[in-house]
Amino acid sequence: MKNPLINFHNCFFIINIILFINNVDFLVEAKHNKLLHPPFKKLGANCDLYDGKWVIDYNYPLYNAKNCPFLLQQFDCVKNGRPDKAYLKYRWQPTDCNLTRWDGNDFMRRIKKKKVLFVGDSLSLNQWQSLACMLHSAFPSLNYSVTRNGPLMSTFSIPSKQVRLSYVRNALLVDIVKEKSKRILKLDSVATSSKLWTGYDILIFDTWHWWLHTGRKQPWDLIRDGKVLHQDMDRLKAYEKALITWGKWISNNINFKKTKVFFQGISPDHRNGTQWGKKPNQMQCKGEQNPVKKLSYLGGEDEADILLGKILSKTRKPIHMLKLNKMSQYRVDGHPSIYGNPRYKGMDCTHWCLPGVPDTWNQLLYANLI
């Protein structure tokens, strides 16, 4: 008969071996997460994630639009009949850094139990849809939901991970109020708009394109600047005043120990083909299949983007600007052109195909969340 004491010692030994292996696995995983999945690998002394070029990478795109069932058709260029596919294969390569490939598992660990909110116009919607597709493709078997919270807000959530990505449409950020049947744009108020901005862990804002609209597309009738009511005013100046109002509210009302705040740089449109060397009768982005290769993009720096950077640098609290303007200027090939919203017969050289350029914006957001 076997000695029960020997059996006990054997069991105790085996249990310790199992605990040791599990501990080693934990340490290896921790080291793996820390060392093998950094947001970027520094190569040079000055690492600027926003300075670089687009390179072909046959491992791209990061997901297949067919596997993103909630993707709006206006961004699904392949479904809308776009025949060329080269635009899907470009990856952003910073000059002095190597961005690691998107790691949905690592990103999910970082935003688990967190709430993310995108606030802005349809370019913000473009980025929100991109990030939702990127996360869904990383966890295709997990249950998810896409819900509408009123007419202007949508939320993508993965309940098992307690992750919520929301988007609220607010093209100007400051308030528009109705007074005597007139729509008044109040450059000094976010009292109404800001009610939806609290209670989030990550905020990403965006505004610009709707400041340029006139006629029927203009969302206001009059502009109030303090006590003065204007029929119209210099749009860049109005934009500046609105950003200052927004910045003051953010600095005074957001707890920066809990919440990280980002601002999406100005996303460029490509309506004027002469800016990248096309003839005057070729004014649109139709037919473009590759990025502009010249480092000196003929469109020049965007004055609204420059102004945005100056204002953000002066806010009392740290607000990170996603400097996507220059890198996106090269991507004349990235727009839907005639393969956008099937109900809209015009040319879309403003929004971006998905998969596409906004996926890189989100990869840079990921890098800056660390």
CA dihedral sign of residues 189, 192, 198, 204: negative
C-alpha angle 195-310-206 in degrees, rounded to nearest 5? 35
60 — phi, psi (to 5°)?
-90, 160
Residue 55 near residue 90 (C-beta atoms within 8 A): yes
- The verdict on whether omega for the bond into residue 61 sits within 30 degrees of 0, i.e. cis, is yes
Q: Give, for 53, the enclosing helix (H) or strand (E).
A: strand 52-56
For position 100, what pLDDT does the model report? 73
CATH numeric code, 39-368: 3.40.50.1110
d(CA 107, CA 39): 10
Alpha helix positions (H), 112-220: 122-138
Which of 205, 305, 202 lies closest to 263 in space, CA to CA? Answer: 205
For position 262, what pLDDT does the model report? 98
**Burial label, 215 (beta-carbon count in 10 A; 0-12, 13-18, 19+):** exposed
The Cα diameter of the chain in Å comes to 101
Quick: pLDDT tens for 38-64.
555 655 567 899 999 999 999 999 999
Name the residue ranges covered by the structural domains of the chain.
Answer: 39-368
For position 147, what pLDDT does the model report? 97
For position 212, what pLDDT does the model report? 96
- What's the DSSP call for residue 215? G
d(CA 197, CA 200): 7
d(CA 225, CA 363): 38
Q: Give, for 166, the enclosing helix (H) or strand (E).
A: strand 163-169
Half-sphere exposure of 156 (CA within 13 A, CB side): 21
Quick: pLDDT tens for 283-316.
789 999 999 987 566 567 899 999 999 999 999 9
For position 299, what pLDDT does the model report? 64
Residue 76 near residue 354 (C-beta atoms within 8 A): yes
Count the helix, strand and coil residues of the chain and give each as a percent rounded to the nearest 5. Answer: 35, 20, 45
Q: Which stretches of the chain score pLDDT less than 70? A: 1-45, 295-299
